[in-house]
Amino acid sequence: MIPRYSRPEMVSIWSPETKFRIWFEIEAHACDAMADIGVIPRANAEAVWKAKDVEFDVARIDEIEAVTKHDVIAFLTHLAEHVGSDEARFVHQGMTSSDVLDTCFNVQLTRAADILIADMDLLLAALKRRAFEHKDTVRVGRSHGIHAEPTTMGLTFARFYAEMDRNLRRLKTAREEIATGAISGAVGTFANIDPAIEEHVCEKLGLTPEPISTQVIPRDRHAAFFACLGVIASSIENVATEVRHMQRTEVLEGAEFFSAGQKGSSAMPHKKNPVLTENLTGLARTIRMAVIPAMENVTLWHERDISHSSVERAIGPDTTITLDFALHRLTSVIEKMLIYPDNMLANMNKFSGLVMSQRVLLALTQAGVSREDSYKLVQRNAMKVWDDGKDFKTELLADEEVVAALSVKEIEEKFDMGYHTKHVDTIFKRVFGA
């Protein structure tokens, strides 16, 4: 992933230096376990740890790989250069490359998930704070982009909170499913390595042993992991799109923070563009690009092929780094977001009283008018508001058929805004608890 959309902590998980450090720990812990059960001499296992503070030379490993055409063998050769050829002769005994590669990949994914979980905690805190801040800030709800009925800005933030809270639970589940390791040898039968080795290595790395690995860890786990990241990305876009719509000039109910000295357009000095949320929409698309390849990786030939490998070398770092950046950016957008309550009320009143049409419809049916006739009565007055800029309540009060069914008082009370917000507290308790 390009530096523009990267944060250092997540990037470091995917650096070659971190990868080789994890490879070393897998091999060293495996040697310890082999020594524990008497498979290799204790002295050889202890000798491997001479490299525990070594900064592995990435360029040297690449140089060796240019000859061997095998990345794990290149690393093991470099490790022997530090440990000594004789001392290192039992390293990787009974293991296969996938034991190292797959276990390492899952360590990296679990570490990445931990960062993403922390990111989501911060986002949820920001959404919750803004939800309570604007719990009673009335705005018009829209369906199909058209005014529907009143809601509140707090409810808007609350529904995004609930969505992200579901995503957090999904991510924790995905992390649990991906946190497995395999040290099972060729085709996963443990023929040349004791299962106790796997158990020891997994314990040291914070993983659980894969119940059955066919030389590779089953890729349905990874498919579920990347699918979860894709869902989170879609939720990010959901929030970002709402902010972008709110910032439109003819709406302007909310907006991204515009800092001093910021420029919106190279050509038009008056512009304040929603560049952060537009950027989030684009980043969400790049994250979702990984979902289908991850699912296609589930199908491998027999016990193992490497058609999945090149895919994962790209989507592992790219999706986690991008999602980390996107979650951090969205949190900042929410924390600093500007809200314009006066514009919300002005927009709601643009078609005077029209958003109360359902209340009148229901009142007419309750007064004995058929639903079909009630709908016609309300709609014909509503169209005068749409077409001629009339006041909805005034038109209703002037309609003899409406007044014949409802008193003036009954009509007027249908325009009480509090009617639409009376259950906000109930919804908040459902979302945030007591």
Write out the two tokens for 167. Answer: 């995503």
Tell me if 317 sits within 8 A of 324, measured CB to CB: no
H helix and E strand count, the chain: 20, 6
Type of residue numbered 67? V
Beta strand extents in 263-422 (DSSP E only): 338-339
Write out the two tokens for 14. Answer: 């995917």
pLDDT at 269: 87
The CB density around residue 230, as the number of other CB atoms within 10 Å, is 20
Q: Which helix (H) or strand (E) holds 254?
A: strand 254-255
pLDDT at 258: 87
pLDDT by residue, tens only, the chain of 434 residues: 689 999 999 999 999 999 999 999 999 999 999 999 999 999 999 999 999 999 999 999 999 999 999 999 999 999 999 999 999 999 999 999 999 999 999 999 999 999 999 999 999 999 999 999 999 999 999 999 999 999 999 999 999 999 999 999 999 999 999 999 999 999 999 999 999 999 999 999 999 999 999 999 999 999 999 999 999 999 999 999 999 999 999 999 999 998 888 888 888 888 889 999 999 999 999 999 999 999 999 999 999 999 999 999 999 999 999 999 999 999 999 999 999 999 999 999 999 999 999 999 999 999 999 999 999 999 999 999 999 999 999 999 999 999 999 999 999 999 999 999 999 999 999 999 97
Write out the two tokens for 250. Answer: 């003819």
Tell me if 78 sits within 8 A of 87, measured CB to CB: no
Taking every pair of C-alpha atoms in the chain, what is the biggest distance, in angstroms?
Answer: 103
Tell me if 258 sits within 8 A of 198, measured CB to CB: no
Collapsed DSSP state (helix, strand, coil) of residue 406: coil
Which residues are paired to 85 by β-bridges?
none
377 HSE (CA, 13 A, CB side): 26
Could you tell me where the DSSP H helices lie in 195-340? 195-205, 220-247, 275-288, 291-296, 309-336
Among 31, 33, 54, 53, CA closest to 44: 31
Tell me if 218 sits within 8 A of 182, measured CB to CB: no
pTM recorded for the entire structure: 0.94
Tell me if 414 sits within 8 A of 358, measured CB to CB: no
Return the residue matching tokens 């296609």. Answer: 296
| Catalytic machinery residues | 144, 265
Q: Is 58 left (phi over 0), alpha (psi -120 to 50) or beta?
A: alpha
Among 123, 153, 163, CA closest to 243: 153
Q: Which helix (H) or strand (E) holds 141?
A: strand 138-143
Tell me the residue length of the chain: 434
C-alpha to C-alpha distance for 212 and 198, rounded to whole angstroms: 12
C-alpha to C-alpha distance for 222 and 204, rounded to whole angstroms: 22
- Residue 132, judged by CB atoms within 10 A of its CB (0-12, 13-18, 19+), counts as middle
Cα–chain-centroid distance for residue 420? 32
Could you tell me where the DSSP H helices lie in 306-417? 309-336, 341-348, 357-366, 371-388, 392-397, 400-405, 408-413
C-alpha to C-alpha distance for 420 and 418, rounded to whole angstroms: 5
Tell me if 184 sits within 8 A of 190, measured CB to CB: yes
278 Cβ partners below 8 Å, 6+ apart?
240, 244
Type of residue numbered 123? L
C-alpha to C-alpha distance for 127 and 17, rounded to whole angstroms: 37
Q: Is 368 left (phi over 0), alpha (psi -120 to 50) or beta?
A: left
Among 158, 325, 324, CA closest to 242: 158
